[in-house]
Structure 1
Amino acid sequence: MTGRSAPALLRRPLLWIQLAWIAMLLGFAVGIPIYQAPDEVLHIDRVLAAGRDSGFGEFDERSLSPELTATYDAGFRHRNAPYGAMEAPGGERWNLDALESYEGNQAPNQLAQHPPAYYALTGAVRTAIVSMLPDDTWDFDREVLLLRLLNVAMVAPLPWLCARTARTLGMGVGSATLASLVPLCIPQLAHIGASVNNDNLLLLTSSVTVAAAAEVLSSRLTWGRTLVIGTSVMLALWTKAPAIALVPLVVVVAVQDLRRRRSDWPMVAALGGFLVAGSLYYVRSLLLHGDPVAGRDMGLPSRTTAFQPVDFTLTAMDNFSQSFWGKFGWLWVDLPGTWVH
């Protein structure tokens, strides 16, 4: 097999794998009942706040938007009546912008401690798209679907990025093809990827960082790769705290390249600048609140019984088996116990 024929051999299966992944994401985007994905209503609330220039506030200042509380109170909170607010035909359902005067019980939004990059980006795109069409086009269920599709776009390149990284690291065509299949082997990944969640921007930026870092380790640092790595890791850090796991990777890439070519120090310094910029949110939180990832105390009850290994194991296995499939069907369908057992 020649080096020229290998990419052509990979391209065809990769295309079908990529299309299958997108189809899987779209299926979840349409099939997941509104607000039933993990913390979806809280993420949507922050997206709406960002798009309306209402600011982000401090981690303990944000409560759910009145309009989201209205649609949530309509039945989506309870699996016995998940479609109460959607009984009206399309065009007659509630519009989020028309519900700002709703005076319900606004629950606290504990996700306000997350950095703002995902919400600012998604909110800006949402505002731009919504403004292109008449207001009566955007019933709240359609707007949630729009936000989900924006998230689908974020995670859609994952199979291609996996294959690219594998090939860059010297793996063969078969191994690269298998690498591209990894996202499809985790239904929960598609479930989260098709819902409104800041994990999706973190997945995209992390994957881009790893792919570009692999190119540097197998070749050398260039200004183009410096810009890609720096921008993606900075955006990842401004999206979610777990992105700190990317910092050691960037440091290794910079040190390894500098050992080989000392003349690359301006690019290495630029990478350091991106890391500093990415840390500013956490530095600010540390200075203001004494904690780099300050969060709201939700008043959860403390453990009152001794640790039970057997109960813990059974519960963990049960939750793992459910969450692996995105708990699809679990939160809104009641089945008689005799059927389940």
Structure 2
Amino acid sequence: MHEATGYRAALTAITLLVVAVAGCWAVLTPAFRAPDEPQHVNSVLRLTYGGGWPAPGEALMGRAMDVAPQQAALESDIPSRHLNRDDVVQYTDLDPVPDQQRLEVSAKNALPEPGSIVRSLDTVDQMTQHPPLYYAAAATWLRATGTAEARWDQLLLSLRLFDVALLAPLPLLAAAAARTLLGDRPEARPTALVAAVGVLFVPMSAHILSAVTNDALVTLSGAVITWLVARVLTGDLRWWTATGLGLALGIGLLTKVMAAFAVPMVILAYLLAGPAGRRVLTDLRRTWWPRTARVLVVGVVAFAVGGWWWLRNLLVLGAVQPVGIPERWEPAPSAGLGYFVTTVLTAFTRSFFGDFGWLELRVPPPVYWSGATIVAALCVAGLVRRDSRKDAAVLLLLPVALWGGVVVNAWRHYVQTGWITAIQGRYLFVGLAALAAVAALGLRPRTGAVPWFVAGGALAAAVSLAFGFRGMYWGDRESASDAAARLAGWSPLSPGQLVAVGALTLVVAAVAVVACVRFAVVERTRRAVPTAATAASTATATDGASGSV
């Protein structure tokens, strides 16, 4: 009982730490300065105020979202932008708009003017190329929290906190997947805790998934799918599990097309479900129909919940994934395959680990290449271990399929136009729980190492937050207090509230480390007691034998 309580306390503390770090990013990131955040907010407002879901390319930015990004100085350059532009105003040269002068969003300005037409590409909201589930859920959140009518900065923070709530189950699901695959083995709990804290070693995930984006919901869907696939791999062929998989996949499909890349993983999981070392072909001859029936249930439920949207696109719009915004670049000469490969590998890797803001604040190359090397090495270790080879291969199929799908799409566009687009590491976050679980399986840490990994994750999060603060708010020849004052000036929170958020995060980090130390002590004690009992039993038996001679 005590060891189970210690594990649950440690996992809860790690989850709270992940949530606290994401909350810090939610208040740190300048307004609308995350990929497509103005458009995501605009689509939420459209559904909040009854504007419907126009066809791709026909949705327009509302009046509020024409004004709010301007008041937020979105068109300026932050201090440490990877390429400062001389003809663009600097963020540090602008004074924050006073709170009382910031636009309040309401029914009067949330939607475009009646009869508005597309004037330029900047007026198009391309998000209607996606299904509407995330935006409908976020609209419900605004109504439930009473923030549908509020200053734009308060409304934006409310939506960011909604995404933080969607992020909260991610460490729990990564831990559940790893522990499910290891069963009752002694290393199961330490491995699960490391899987949970693994998301902190990908700082970009906290930055992106605390912004307003449909990636938050599809990432949660991918994490649930990963956990249920882990259950299937261990032999769980219950109908309820198949139904749950279909529901999670359908929710993902009604959010973003990225969820479709989980289908091969699900099918392979049912094909290989069962204990390691079984004769697959022999078993399949006997059980092919029960396994096929479960896959069919997954498919039917997933289609009923969200898959129908993509068939509807094909029938109505003539494309599975319609284009939400017209082509923005004139065709350019191709620079060749070598340029494509090096650009894609670099951009994908960098934006997976740290390309903050609107992909403008880049971490140094040694950071993201080191991160990629470590993750790859741990995944290979998971594949090499005999007792996790099958499980690791199935889970890795999700991030590999996502990576391959994005690259193929980018290559097609590159061949047609000469431009490389849509290469962003956030597209892999659907498989983030799978990556965390497989990396932990490859690592298999000792119990005593768990607190060190938690402390390391907390340190990685702190460094990334400091890097973001420095790069977004701290101008040349300025002090830290100048940067802090700028953050407070732009934030909807007061200086005292900002300090409280940071202090609370530090407290949660300390509690997480202490909880994991306690877990390690309890685990060691639990293992030492049977060893001592066995030794005592052996000594008694020996003494008895000696006395009888």
TM-score of the aligned structures, taking structure 1 as reference length: 0.83
Letter of the 1:275 counterpart:
A
Q: Which has the larger radius of gyration?
A: 2
Query: Which residue among 319, 344, 360 is the counterpart of 1:291?
Result: 319
316-325 or 148-157, larger mean C-alpha shift: 316-325
Query: Which residue among 347, 353, 365 is the counterpart of 1:324?
Result: 353
For residue 286 of structure 1, report the CA deviation from its aligned partner: 1.2
Residue 199 (structure 1) aligns with: 215
Q: Quick one: distance in 1 between partners of 2:21 and 2:57?
A: 36
3-state SS in 2 of match to 1:99: coil
Q: Quick one: distance in 1 between partners of 2:290 and 2:36?
A: 47
57-66 or 215-224, larger mean C-alpha shift: 215-224
For residue 214 of structure 1, report the CA deviation from its aligned partner: 1.3
Query: Which residue among 294, 299, 302 is the counterpart of 1:272?
Result: 299
Q: Quick one: distance in 1 between partners of 2:29 and 2:74?
A: 12
Residue 147 (structure 1) aligns with: 159
Q: Quick one: distance in 1 between partners of 2:129 and 2:339?
A: 34
Letter of the 2:235 counterpart:
S
50-59 or 168-177, larger mean C-alpha shift: 168-177
Alpha-carbon displacement from aligned partner over 1:73-123 (angstroms, at most 9, x marks no partner): 33222232489795223x553111153588797611222211111111111
For residue 180 of structure 1, report the CA deviation from its aligned partner: 1.1
For residue 235 of structure 1, report the CA deviation from its aligned partner: 0.6
Asked if structure 2 preserves the Cα contact closer than 8 Å seen for 1:71 and 1:85, the reply is no
Asked if structure 2 preserves the Cα contact closer than 8 Å seen for 1:64 and 1:109, the reply is yes
Q: 1:313 to 1:56 in 2, by over 3 A?
A: same
Q: Quick one: distance in 2 between partners of 1:316 and 1:269?
A: 36
Asked if structure 1 preserves the Cα contact closer than 8 Å seen for 2:46 and 2:111, the reply is no
For residue 297 of structure 1, report the CA deviation from its aligned partner: 2.1
Asked if structure 1 preserves the Cα contact closer than 8 Å seen for 2:45 and 2:111, the reply is no
Asked if structure 1 preserves the Cα contact closer than 8 Å seen for 2:132 and 2:254, the reply is yes
Residue 61 (structure 1) aligns with: 58
- Unpaired stretches in structure 1, ≥5 consecutive residues: none
Q: 1:85 to 1:53 in 2, by over 3 A?
A: farther
Query: Which residue among 23, 26, 34 is the counterpart of 1:26?
Result: 23
Sequence identity, in percent? 26
Asked if structure 1 preserves the Cα contact closer than 8 Å seen for 2:63 and 2:111, the reply is yes
Q: 1:311 to 1:199 in 2, by over 3 A?
A: closer
Letter of the 2:207 counterpart:
H
Superposed counterparts of 1:209-224, under 5 Å: 209-224=225-240
3-state SS in 2 of match to 1:169: helix
Matched, 1:165 2:177: yes
Q: 1:300 to 1:111 in 2, by over 3 A?
A: farther
Q: Quick one: distance in 1 between partners of 2:131 and 2:340?
A: 36
Residue 41 (structure 1) aligns with: 38
Asked if structure 1 preserves the Cα contact closer than 8 Å seen for 2:271 and 2:291, the reply is no
3-state SS in 1 of match to 2:123: coil
Q: 1:176 to 1:195 in 2, by over 3 A?
A: same
Q: Quick one: distance in 2 between partners of 1:213 and 1:287?
A: 31
Q: Quick one: distance in 1 between partners of 2:292 and 2:159?
A: 41
Q: Quick one: distance in 1 between partners of 2:123 and 2:471?
A: 20
Query: Which residue among 102, 107, 119 is the counterpart of 1:93?
Result: 102
Q: 1:112 to 1:314 in 2, by over 3 A?
A: closer
For residue 265 of structure 1, report the CA deviation from its aligned partner: 7.1
Q: Quick one: distance in 1 between partners of 2:352 and 2:137?
A: 28
Alpha-carbon displacement from aligned partner over 1:37-75 (angstroms, at most 9, x marks no partner): 111111111111122221111111112111101112332
For residue 330 of structure 1, report the CA deviation from its aligned partner: 8.5
Alpha-carbon displacement from aligned partner over 1:151-206 (angstroms, at most 9, x marks no partner): 00001111111111001011622221221121110000000111001111011011
Asked if structure 2 preserves the Cα contact closer than 8 Å seen for 1:70 and 1:99, the reply is no
For residue 298 of structure 1, report the CA deviation from its aligned partner: 3.1
Q: 1:314 to 1:233 in 2, by over 3 A?
A: closer
Letter of the 1:151 counterpart:
D
Q: 1:24 to 1:332 in 2, by over 3 A?
A: closer
Alpha-carbon displacement from aligned partner over 1:281-336 (angstroms, at most 9, x marks no partner): 11111122221001132322333363495798589758855763323359855856
RMSD across aligned C-alpha pairs, in angstroms?
3.4
